[in-house]
Structure 1
Amino acid sequence: MFETLRPQSPDKIIRLMQMFRDDPRMGKIDLGVGVWRNAAGQTPVMAAVKAAERHLVETQESKSYVTLAGDAGFLEAMRGLLLGDAVPAARVAAAGTPGGTGAVRQILELVRLARPDATVWISEPTWPNHPALIDTVGLRRKSYRYYDAETGALDRAGMMADLAQVGPGDVVLLHGCCHNPTGADLARDDWRQLATLLAERGSVPFVDMAYQGFGAGLEQDADGLRLIAAQVPEVLIAASCSKNFGLYRDRAGLAMAICRDAQAQGVVQGMLAWLNRQNFAFPPDHGARVVQTILGDADLRATWQSELETMRLAMDRNRAAFADALRQTTRSDRFGFLRDQRGMFSLIGIGAPAIARLREEHGIYLIEDGRMNVAGLTDSTIPVVAEAIAASI
């Protein structure tokens, strides 16, 4: 039967990971894979996570199944973290998923069942899994402008002009704080304008949220999502705990839907549980239970927030130091936009030939489109990378 199959194009990020692993050179630098790294270049387990896991080992008495939607305590804790009191809890349906990508898939499946003729609008650029998953579930998609490569900032006029064309029932995929691979974020005013526009058009915002706490702070980073939630009657949310809790391999995520009323919430809640059953049945619980434990314990939550703030400030310092180093090595402020962006990622804007030279001649690995993981830089590698970029462009 397998003779009918055709090879699929390899995922760019997975391919880059393999190339990096196969590179025998000492001193090679990985700026492609989106994981947090400390000053030693390591991705440690957070202290709050370690403590929560110890607590679970000592107190957890069963590994039996939870519900199809996952543990209610985790879902409620995440609702509070993401939405605060922006909408009544009775309007929010949620289900656990294997990470943020699992959440995106389940939400798209929900859209397909509810509105199979909907068009899903995605930003240009976005993450490769967004168009791939939209195509896989069989929904239509269109792109809207998002990034101005000349300025390294948001293309506000282009974005609003494109999204003025969305139709009733269409879904608009928006990036939460620090989520767009460009590093350019929506400002509070942008969120407010989008909420007004989408409410008027009768379209449904779909917010992909994985980096809360990496931008301006834990509460500030949820501000845009909460503005949308308070103003638009139906909102879809995919959330991941991989980045801000460091639970990459534990795959803790959730799919969430804000509904018009409690009656609709009951229907959607049942549908999310049913979709889980058709896909993976019960969602993973260990990472979710760790998150629930941290968010439900005042001391652990304080430790986690302190660690998260340390990570956020380190990324800000990396950005400033890297922009300064590039100004010195290139004798220009061509890369000054790096200072104003936020989060782990930026599009460095140097072109495919230069990226290939960085990899082949210097052992520095970036995604082919120039996306760089700023959190992968360290004090010792910043000058090395800046010199290499200057030599490659």
Structure 2
Amino acid sequence: MFELLPPPPADPLWDLSAEFGTDTRPERLNLVLGVYRDHTGVTPVMAAVREAEIRLAERSASKEYRGLSGNAAFNRAMLSMVLGGAGTAGRAAAVQTVAGTGALRLLADLVRRTRPGATVWISDPAYVNHRPILEAAGLTVRTYSWLDAEGCSDTAGMLRDLQDARRDDVVLLQGCCHNPSGVELSFEAWEALAELAEHNGWVPFIDLAYHGLGDGLEADLRATRMLAMRVPEMLIAVSCSKNFGLYSDRTGCAVVLGPSGQALRHAETSLQNIARTLYSMPPEHGAAVVTTILEDEGLRATWRSELDVMRGRITANRADLVAHLDGLGCAGQARPLARQKGMFSTLPLTPDQMRELREEFAIYGTASGRINIAGISAHRIPYLARGIAAVLGTMDRVRTVQSAVS
């Protein structure tokens, strides 16, 4: 049986990580996978998470099944956090999922069931797993513009492309901290998208994986909440991996907004049925941790403070990298980086230059130029900047100028 399988495509991120694992150079840097690391290079367990786990262990609750929708208290907490409650009471339902990836797949399957002829529009570039998830659900995928020639947001191109999105179509948008580019839409652009969705009738599908790591939790959720107030139907995939540090606990939820209670009940039951055929029920531990944090005022305050510290370190890393590149003669190339937000930045390098960066300097990023700015210790940023400058060919020019001055 297995010998009849065609050669499967490799996963570019995990292949690079495997290559990094065999690299013995002491200066090596792994900036491939999207995990937060502190100044020591460790992905920490947040203090609020640790305290919540202690409380759960002391409580020793039953390990009985929670049901197809998962932890109901977690689902309520997610709705409250994401939507803020204003104007969406009675219009939203949530189902716990196997992380944000599971939420994307469940909602993609829901689209396939309810709108079998729909096209789902994704950004170009997009998160590497968006297209495979959507196509695995049997959906047609098209792209809309995201970046202009200068590496900035191409709002005009995006709105022009999405004029072709039909009434039965779905438009997948990252709610904040775009992966892989780090480029954000202005709030005015989000309002223009809402107007277009209202006029043309397509459904927004929001991917929320990095809220709290861009401009702060409330600011990062502002666009999602505005859309929820303006459109009759919306889909939201929520991940707790990054902002709670629950990567391996696979915690997330799928949110649907609809025009009536009956429509919501049908959508929720459909999501339960889809989950039943994929994995039956989601894991409980991470959901219980998040619920414990969000339902306790003290733990919630601790978590928010820790999240702000993480966001501050990411912002400082990016600013430090830009400053070092400026000093190495790369001011023009660094300018787009300064405007990016969230865990990822896209370097102004070609796939060949990214390969050179990996082979010559042991700096690992994706072929598209994406690096995890949240995964580097501050003291390694000068080395990263020198490697980028060398690949760009600016190091020799800097040395020439320095020699002339001296």
Q: TM-score, normalised by structure 1?
A: 0.98
Distance 1:61 1:360 in 2: 51
DSSP 3-state at the match of 1:95 = strand
Give the structure 2 partner of residue 135 of structure 1. 135
Distance 2:330 2:108 in 1: 47
Alpha-carbon contact 2:88-2:229 (below 8 Å) kept: no
Give the structure 2 partner of residue 92 of structure 1. 92
Cα displacement (A) at 1:282: 0.7
Distance 1:135 1:61 in 2: 39
Distance 1:377 1:219 in 2: 26
Distance 1:20 1:174 in 2: 31
1:307-386 alignment runs, 5 A limit: 307-386=306-385
Counterpart of 1:37, as a letter, is R
Q: Alpha-carbon deviations, 1:185-231, whole Å to 9, x = none?
A: 12211111101101111100000001111111111111000011000
Counterpart of 1:137, as a letter, is A
DSSP 3-state at the match of 2:328 = helix
Alpha-carbon contact 1:167-1:202 (below 8 Å) kept: yes
Give the structure 1 partner of residue 30 of structure 2. 30
Q: Alpha-carbon deviations, 1:72-105, whole Å to 9, x = none?
A: 1000000011000244332212111111111100
Q: Percent identity?
A: 45
Distance 2:106 2:68 in 1: 13
DSSP 3-state at the match of 1:68 = coil
Counterpart of 2:376, as a letter, is L
Cα displacement (A) at 1:349: 1.7
Q: Alpha-carbon deviations, 1:329-387, whole Å to 9, x = none?
A: 13533212212211111111211121111111111100011001111222211100111
Give the structure 2 partner of residue 3 of structure 1. 3
Alpha-carbon contact 1:179-1:209 (below 8 Å) kept: no
Alpha-carbon contact 1:74-1:289 (below 8 Å) kept: yes
Which structure 2 residue ranges, 5 or more long, are not aligned? 393-406
Which structure 1 residue ranges, 5 or more long, are not aligned? none
1:32-181 alignment runs, 5 A limit: 32-148=32-148, 150-181=149-180
Q: TM-score, normalised by structure 2?
A: 0.95
Distance 1:294 1:95 in 2: 19
Counterpart of 1:128, as a letter, is V
Give the structure 1 partner of residue 13 of structure 2. 13
Counterpart of 1:120, as a letter, is V
Cα displacement (A) at 1:7: 2.0
Alpha-carbon contact 2:333-2:348 (below 8 Å) kept: no
DSSP 3-state at the match of 2:143 = strand
Is the deviation greater in 269-278 or in 296-305? 269-278
Counterpart of 1:196, as a letter, is E
Distance 2:340 2:26 in 1: 31
Moved over 6 A (4+): none
Counterpart of 1:201, as a letter, is N
Alpha-carbon contact 1:252-1:284 (below 8 Å) kept: yes
Distance 1:92 1:23 in 2: 48
Alpha-carbon contact 2:234-2:257 (below 8 Å) kept: yes
How many correspondences in the alignment? 392
Distance 1:28 1:325 in 2: 19
